Structure 1
Amino acid sequence: MMQFDAGRALIVYAGVLTGVIAWIGLTAAAPTTRQARFDTIDVGRINVREPDGTLRMTIASAAQAPGFIAKGREWPRPDRRMAGMLFFNDEGTENGGLIFAGRDANGKASSGGSLTFDRYHQDQVVQLFGFEEGQERSAGIKVNDQPDARLDFEGVDRARLAPAAQQDAAYRAANVGGTQRLFAGRASDRSSQLVLRDGQGRRRLVLRVAEDGAASIDFLDSAGKVTRTVKPE
């Protein structure tokens, strides 16, 4: 009959325990990569996050589209009814996106797409877009100014819930209010245009080529009146 040796058992136990601890330490320190491959994935929304959990991008259906997110906090956006992709900066604040939609309702086409980039803690400063509503169609690029002050996110949410008569003032108080400075593209009158505006958003210079090829350059004053038109001889 084998005799139990407590000292030898303790030595073996200590050796096994040391090996397990060393293995855990090595595997924990080693970089881990998890990869999966699928032929088809059907989802309502995908969130792309940094290792610390910071949200950097969402891809979502219209039904699953997020609200407005700033530094990880989300506010409702009931007006966001398009599918697409939203971009978030290093702090987890929305700073642009790609959205798109389209349908045919009773023979009337309605579609649109927009790629935008935002100023830091403000709204979009560059927009590449295409729009169609029945016979009304336009496409091009817009460049906007936004207020120097940062958006007051809580103020924007309060403005959304304010009475209609008070909403404009509430949005301005929350530093909402961009000004278009440039448009270049195809206008709804079927002409191609380059429109330059001043800091108040007033058109001051319009270069236009009509659908039939007629070209012109209009200079406008602060009241929007054309003061001079240049045409080819």
Structure 2
Amino acid sequence: MRIDPSRAIGGYAAVMTLAAAWLALAAVAPAATKFDTIDVQRINVREPDGTLRLAIANHALIPGIIIGGKEYPHPNRTEAGMIFYNDQGDENGGLVFDGGMKNGKPTNGGSLTFDRWHQDQTLQLVSTEDGRDRRAGLVVNDRPDAPMDIAAGLQMRAMKPGPERDALIAKAGLTSARRAWLGRSEDGSVALILSDPAGRPRLTLGVGNDGVPSVELRDAAGKVTRTVR
């Protein structure tokens, strides 16, 4: 068999070109690292441009409230868990949990929440336990259209309850109206409670801890106008 020198050189060049291209791609592509166990206190998941999208942390290092590129101290976040962030790096929900023996009684808590843009949670799946008091359910909230003024809200925590504080809370966009609750309350009853835009319960469909079902309709003042048992 006679080998054509020009074809042999061409084939060799093609093979070397493909090999060089493969090596170049392998050098650029990020290498996947595998671990059996990782012990950490916090993991930040970011986009290629550095935008924070997810934080997984223990209670000591869990983030505060991050809105508009600034982190504010959270007034009552002491749990461990995961905090979710939107495309802009603003907090928009989370999954947190805590629990243990406190003051000689078992406690437990878990919460999965979804927030409005630059606002607090509008949907929450929650379960809490404090000794014999247990509560679990689904909550739907209304939040203001205006973004929260978090700095103003933190300053108001030192104020005494009253009309002046309530007015400042409303101005800062920190009000909330619970529109729906479906779940078990601390008294052992289970119910679907539907409320008006002001958060006043108007219709309750429930079963008490005695097993008796009932339907209650209330007016805007909270007075029961009709009961079916």
For the aligned pair, the TM-score class normalised by the smaller chain equals: 0.7 to 0.9
User: Could you report, residue by residue, the CA deviation over 1:50-75 in whole angstroms, capped at 9, with x for unpaired residues?
Assistant: 00000000000000011110133211
1:37 shift after superposition = 0.9
Q: TM-score, normalised by structure 1?
A: 0.82
Shifted more, 82-91 versus 133-142: the winner is 133-142
The aligned counterpart of 1:228 is: 226
Equivalent residue for 2:187, pick from 189, 193, 205: 189
Corresponding residue for residue 17 of structure 1: none
Corresponding residue number in structure 1 for 2:159: 164
For residue 124 of structure 2, what is the aligned residue in structure 1?
Answer: 127
Match of 2:196 in 1: 198
Aligned 8 A contact 1:54 1:72 in 2: no
Residue number in structure 2 paired with 1:109: 106
Q: Which residue in 1 is equivalent to 2:8?
A: none
Number of aligned positions between the proteins: 205
Q: Which residue of 1 aligns with 2:76?
A: 79
CA contact (8 A) 1:138 1:186 kept: yes
Residue aligning to 1:68: 65
Q: Which moved more, 1:68-77 or 1:115-124?
A: 68-77
How far apart in 2 are the matches of 1:194 and 1:37? 47
RMSD (Å) for aligned C-alpha atoms: 2.1
Deviation at 1:96, TM superposition (A): 0.3
1:178 maps to a residue whose letter is S
Whether the aligned pair in 1 keeps the contact of 2:75 and 2:154 (CA below 8 Å) is no
Residue type matched to 2:211 in 1? Answer: G
Q: Classify the secondary structure of the residue corresponding to 1:157.
A: helix
Check whether the contact 1:55–1:72 (CA below 8 A) recurs between aligned residues: no
- Could you list the structure 1 runs, at least 4 aligned residues long, displaced by more than 6 angstroms after superposition: none
* TM-score normalized with structure 2 length: 0.83
Checking the alignment, whether the CA contact within 8 Å between 2:152 and 2:172 is kept in structure 1 is no
- Match status 1:59 vs 2:56: yes
Structure 1 residue ranges without an equivalent (≥5): 1-22
Unmatched segments (≥5 aa) in structure 2: 1-19
Aligned residues with identical type, % of pairs: 51
Matching residue of 1:14: none
Distance 2:89 2:52 in 1: 5
